[in-house]
Amino acid sequence: MTDVTGHADGPASPPAAHADADADADARPPLSWPARVLALAGWGVVVLGALGASDRIEHFAGPVPWRRVAMWFIGAALTHDLVIAPLVTLVAIAVGRLLPGLVRGPVAGGLIASGCLVAVSYPRLSGFGALPTNSSINPGNAARDLLVVLGVVWLTVAVTVLVRTVGPRIASRS
């Protein structure tokens, strides 16, 4: 059996409190008074944001189509839950199953960094915002720049793997 972070059956998980414990809401003590005040203040800010977004407040900022804002909130969460999280899960399972122990950590770290760097680069990479009449918007070669950065990341991964594999052998010979 494989869990969603890509580890097959091994030692039992520690008895530390798990973030996915079903019982956590049951075990949660009632809110303290400061926490209740904070929750109320938080809901106040949420309501302010909702009223503003739906054009019921004339101050602070202009109105926006609240249905579209809601659609983007829900869409962003669903994209994460239905696309990004399953994809990361599959990659994590593959890394856990296919790679030897000394390589898994650096490769997983490299994948995390690479994924974030690609995500950050995507708007520029896509060229959606480019303006032919304005050379200072998204200048340079976005693909080349990203490849350079990813090259550095994976060089670091390779060096880390090398140090982990060759280092102990050298130490054991001396």
Partner 1 sequence: MNLPTALRSIPRPAATGLRTESPLRTDRMAAGLGIALGVTFTICFVTGIISHLIQDPPSWFLWPTRPVNGYRITQGLHVATGMATIPLLLAKLWVVLPKLFRWPPARGVSDAASRVSDGILVGGGLFLVFSGTANLARWRPWGFGFTSGHFWSALLAYGALLVHVAYRGATTRRELRRAPAPGTTDPTEAPEVVASPSPARHALTRRGFITAVGLASAAVTVTTVGQTLPLLRRLNLLGPRRPEVGVQGLPVNQTADGAGVLDQVESDAAVADYRLTVTGRVETELELTLDDLRAMPQVTEELPIACVEGWSASARWSGVQVRELLARAGAPDDSEVLVVSLEETALYSTSMLNRLQAADELTLLALDIDGEPLHVDHGRPVRLIGANRPGVQQTKWVTRLEVR
Subset of 8-67 contacting partner 1 (CB under 8 A)? 8, 10-11, 13-22, 24-26, 28-29, 31-32, 35-36, 38-39, 41-50, 52-53, 59-65
Q: What is the dihedral of CA 16, 17, 20, 22, to 10 degrees?
A: 120
CB 125 within 8 A of CB 138: no
Pick between residue 138 and residue 158 the one whose CB is nearest to partner 1. 138
- Tell me: does residue 83 bind partner 1 (CB under 8 A): no
Rounded to whole angstroms, how far apart are CA atoms 142 and 126? 9
Smallest gap from Cβ 173 to partner 1, in A, equals 16
Determine contact, residues 9/1, Cβ cutoff 8 Å: yes
Least separation in angstroms between CB 158 and partner 1 = 15
**Binding status of residue 174 toward partner 1 by CB under 8 A:** no
Closest CA to 113 of 150, 80, 142: 150
Q: Does 166 bind partner 1 (CB under 8 A)?
A: no
Distance separating alpha carbons of residues 96 and 8, to the nearest angstrom: 8
Binding mask 128-157 for partner 1 (x = CB under 8 A): xxxx-xxxxxxxx----xx-xx---x----
- Answer yes or no whether residue 81 interacts with partner 1 by CB under 8 A: yes
